Structure 1
């Protein structure tokens, strides 16, 4: 397997994750020589670690920009839904 093709596939997988709103997800390729197959590993730890903080900032920014009068319970529910996906 060509290393260029392996990097291209990993890059394409990262772009799909970013398109769907997960910018912290990283992917890398591994070649299993025995079967000749390409395995793509995805690292979602950074997304889980920083996802709640990004969701909280987004909710507070919407509340500030549009002068919305939301309660703390509504904000927490929106953050929970954003993190959950």
Structure 2
């Protein structure tokens, strides 16, 4: 027998919790990383991750990628990113 079924049989009341998007209040299903950290596994809390709905997660990924593209090109133009500049030479 499934352990979840056993636990439900023992309880007289079940409270289902739902997460909410921090930006719009809809049901949240995804966590969006708010930092530039690129490691696959990053143990952190609300300072690094935020809970968002499906729509804002998809839009957020687009915004993050666009920001990286703009910042990368700006760094090359201003010469502030020496490695990127040297790779073009």
- Give the TM-score of the pair, scaled to structure 2: 0.32
Structure index of larger Rg: 2
The structure with the largest strand share of the pair is: 1
The structure with the largest helix share of the pair is: 1
